[in-house]
Each structure stands twice: as C-alpha cells, then as structure tokens.
Amino acid sequence: MTDKTLKPLAALYDDMDKTWNKIAAGYHFNCNGCEDNCCKSLFFHHTYIEKAYILHGFNALDPNRKEKILNKAANYCKKTFPQSLEIRILKIYCPVNENGQCLLYKYRPMICRLHGLPHELCKPGFDPIKGTGCDAGLFDDKTYIKFDRTPFYQQMAQIEIAFRQNLNKTGKIKETIAQMLVSQ
C-alpha cells in the first residue's frame, strides 16, 4: 500500500479534524478524556480504505508493541464476539488505546474523529437527523453550533469507491478496530 493511495483519505481526515477543532473551540470544549471514554464504545467501521490506513499505521509500530496490541485485539474479539452471530456490548477499551491514549491517533478512523460534538446529517428531501454530543461537553446547556457531517460522509464514499476500484475490492465491510487487526 503506497502513501499515494492513502493520500486522499489523509487530506479528508485533516479537513475533519480542522472542522471538529473549530466547532469544539466555539463551545470552549476540550476533550481531556473522561470516565465514559469513547474508546470504550463499540464502533464498527465500514470502509476498506480506513482499514488499510489504520493497518498502515499499525505496521509502522515496533514489533513488541504490535504483539501486545494483537493480543489485546484477540482478547477483545473473544469477549465481544463469543459466538459467530453474538455481539456483546461490554464497554471495554479499543485494543490500540493504552492508558487512555490512542497509539494510532494519526490513523484513527472517521467515527473516532467526528465523535463527541452535537451534529447533523442531511438527506435530500428529509429533515436533518440530529445527533447529541458526549456527556462531558454538557452540550444540552449550550447553543447548537452547526456541524453537518454530510459532506464528510459523501467525500468518504467517493474515496472508498475509487479505492475499491483500484484494488478490485468488493463486498461489504463492518469491522471494529480489533477485528481489522486480527483479520489482516
């Protein structure tokens, strides 16, 4: 996997981060970690390019750290998916989180980047679907600052289509970070 292949995704992530930071600053919100840490949420990711990007970051880690993470990922999968169709929502840390820090922060997927702030998603012909922010931000007491995720989702879909075409990838993907790591 070349850096060139992943460049459009890195640029999109950069845009997301800038937008997120600007809106968070508007709320005077700083994410300093919290008890209900979002890295304990059961997030599924749906793009092959995001999987390629996080594995690209993972493969640049030193072998000891990789081994530790892979052990944690295997344990995560065992607990969360004990049977083929069973999913247990256990609020356990993502295997790449160590002491509250994401070891692959630069490579983290879209949902990790967009999480936390109140937002909306707009489908043509429908009212916007609104999402709440995390509890730590106390956003219910604040005036909503528009955060439309729609353009990010649309750009992600285009980047994913091009990536799939280039690599002849087909079919759906729905994986946690732990599953991405153990299935690479």
Per CB under 6 A, residues contacting ligand SF4 are 39, 94, 96-97, 102, 104, 108, 112, 177
Q: Which of 142, 140, 113, 143 is nearest to 20 (CA)?
A: 113
- Minimal distance, residue 4 CB to ligand SF4, in Å: 23
Nearer CB in complex with ligand SF4: 38/121: 38
Residue 176 neighbours by CB distance under 10 Å: 21
Residue 108's φ and ψ, nearest 5 degrees, are -60, 150
**Cβ proximity to ligand SF4, 9 vs 112, nearer residue:** 112
**CB nearer ligand SF4, residue 104 or residue 156:** 104
Give the separation between CA 163 and CA 9, rounded to whole angstroms.
10
Q: How far is the CB of 94 from ligand SF4 (least distance, A)?
A: 3
Q: CB of residue 116 vs ligand SF4: minimum separation in angstroms?
A: 11
For the chain, what is the radius of gyration of the CA atoms? 17
Please tell me the distance from the alpha carbon of residue 157 to that of residue 145, in angstroms, as a whole number.
Answer: 25
Nearest distance from C-beta of residue 172 to ligand SF4, angstroms: 20
Nearer to ligand SF4 among residue 52 and residue 177 (C-beta): 177
